[in-house]
Amino acid sequence: MPENDFLQRFIIESSGSRGEIVRLTDSYRSVSRHVDYPIEIKKLLGEVMCTATLLTATLKFEGKLSIQLQGQGLVSLLLVQSTHEQKLRATAKWQGEVSGKNFKELIGKAQLAITIEPEQGKRYQGIVPLEGENFAECIELYFLQSEQLPTQIWLAVNQQSCAGFLLQKLPGNEKESSPENWEHITILARTITDQELLEESFETILYRLFHAETVKVFEGKPVVYECTCSKQRFESGMMSLGQSQISEMIKEGKTVDLKCEFCGAHYLLEISDLQRVSVAIAKTSDG
Ligand SMILES: [Zn+2]
């Protein structure tokens, strides 16, 4: 049975490298539940969702990882967030005709930002220009430029599902993590096909690629599409508007209708809610 909405980590002990496979189906479908994304944008969202899941699993932290593409192409913004518990959410903004457009045409001149926000500790952000023929190439270049461990990534996507495969050299100078072994293992991995990634069971894929290696497989993790929005979060967000603007809104006496870009949920802020925001702003400026 092929695994869906599932992430599998493994270590190739004989070559000093580690890897992960992910495949999303329900969670991939969920992204277009409230926005009717053109297929080109949905596929790009799928690739970034798989990547965010793969990257979250390589980090040892509790918190949130965001991948953001921001540029001047047809897609002005694409944002995917994943938590250490493999909860995903995603959104994209575009304008104009995207039908039949390739990655470079969609994105244009853009930046790739990867932000890591641990629940405890410092926020980290890496930003690089988006250079690459496809998103997988962009991520590999990001790893090269940020001087992290050699990493290769494969992404496959169709209408129903998206899948990703990541291979990363383990740190250390042992014989197993030699450049020759890394080369060897990436040559094997490069034979993976999109169809295998999207359709085969993870066991079959790993056996097909690495049956002559010693592979240790860890317990898999389910991945879900889940938004973390709430009325309270939107109220906190309103604080950044500042006291005068909030007072103005209270004076106007209109209910504010806010929509979550990730899940489509609506939150209505009544006057009493805005007054609460106003009190909160006053408290912070007092302190
Ligand atoms: Zn939401």
3-state secondary structure 86-119: CEEEEEEEECCCCCCCCHHHHHCCEEEEEEEEEC
User: Which band of pLDDT confidence, cut at 50, 70 and 90, is reported for residue 189?
Assistant: very high
Structure tokens at 140: 């590999």
Does 271 reside within a domain?
A: yes
Residues 194 and 216 in one domain: yes
User: If you measure from the C-alpha of residue 194 to the centroid of ligand 1, how many angstroms do you get, rounded to a whole number?
Assistant: 31
> How far apart are the CA of 59 and the centre of ligand 1, in A?
25
Distance from residue 255's CA to the centre of ligand 1 (Å): 19
User: C-alpha dihedral over 98, 99, 100, 106, to 10 degrees?
Assistant: 10
Domain span at residue 161?
6-225
Report yes or no on 30 lying in a domain.
yes
From the CA of 234, how far away is ligand 1's center (Å)?
10
Residue 178 lies in a domain: yes
Please name the residue that has the structure tokens 């909030």: 246
pLDDT at 1: 63
What's the domain count of the chain? 2
**Percentage of residues in the chain having pLDDT higher than 70:** 99
Q: In the listed set 225, 250, 266, which residue is the last one of a domain according to the structure?
A: 225
Tell how far the Cα of 286 is from the centroid of ligand 1, in angstroms.
31
Residue 178's pLDDT is 87
State in Å: Cα 262 to ligand 1 middle.
Answer: 5
pLDDT band at 60 (very low <50, low <70, confident <90, very high): confident
Question: Residue 201 domain-assigned?
Answer: yes
- Ligand 1 centroid–CA 229 distance in Å is 4
Distance 261 CA to ligand 1 centre (A): 7
Three-class SS of 126-174: EEEECCCCCHHHHHHHHHHHCCCCCEEEEEEECCCCEEEEEEEECCCCC
Q: Is 64 helix (H, G, I), strand (E, B) or coil?
A: strand
Last residue of a domain, one of 225, 251, 269: 225
Which amino acid makes up residue 133? E
Q: Is the residue at 252 inside a domain?
A: yes
Who contacts 183 (Cβ-Cβ below 8 Å, separation ≥6)? none
Report residue 94: phi and psi, to 5°: -145, 165
* Pairwise CA distance, residues 123 & 116, whole Å: 6
User: Residue 268 maps to which CATH number?
Assistant: 3.90.1280.10
CA of 235 to the centre of ligand 1 (A): 14
Mean pLDDT of 133-155: 88
181 alpha carbon – ligand 1 mean position (Å):
44
Q: 115: CA distance to ligand 1 center in Å?
A: 19
Report the pLDDT value the prediction gives residue 95, as an integer from 0 to 100.
94
Q: How far is the CA of 198 from the centre of ligand 1 (A)?
A: 28
Residues 177 and 44 in one domain: yes
C-alpha dist (Å) from residue 18 to 22, 162, 170, 179, 235: 14, 21, 6, 14, 42
**Domain endpoint, select from 185, 203, 225:** 225
Query: Parallel, antiparallel, or unpaired: how do β-strands 224-225 and 87-94 relate?
Result: parallel
pLDDT tens readout for residues 12-34: 999 999 999 999 999 999 999 98
The rounded distance, in Å, linking the Cα atoms of 281 and 247 is: 11
* 127 beta partners: 113
Q: How far is the CA of 91 from the centre of ligand 1 (A)?
A: 10
Amino acid at 227: C
* Residue 90 Cα to ligand 1 middle (Å): 10
Judgement on whether residues 156 and 254 belong to the same structural domain of the protein: no
The rounded radius of gyration (Å) of the Cα atoms in the chain is 21
Structural domain contains residue 1: no
> Cα–Cα–Cα angle for 229, 230, 236, nearest 5°?
100
Residues 42 and 162 in one domain: yes
Q: Average pLDDT for residues 112-131, to the nearest whole number?
A: 91
Q: What is the CATH number of the domain that holds 175?
A: 3.55.30.10
- Mean pLDDT value of segment 236-264: 91
CA 265 to ligand 1 centroid distance, Å: 5
**186 Cα–ligand 1 center, Å:** 39
**Same-domain status, 263 and 194:** no
* Same-domain status, 126 and 261: no
Query: What per-residue confidence (pLDDT) applies to 174?
Result: 78
Instruction: Average the pLDDT over 168-191 and give the result.
Output: 89
Note whether 63 and 23 are same-domain residues: yes
Residue 147 included in any domain: yes
Q: Are 181 and 205 part of one and the same domain?
A: yes
Answer yes or no: is 71 within a domain.
Answer: yes
Same domain, 158 and 65: yes
CA of 276 to the centre of ligand 1 (A): 21
User: Do 170 and 96 have their domain in common?
Assistant: yes
198 and 183 in a common domain: yes
Same-domain status, 174 and 248: no
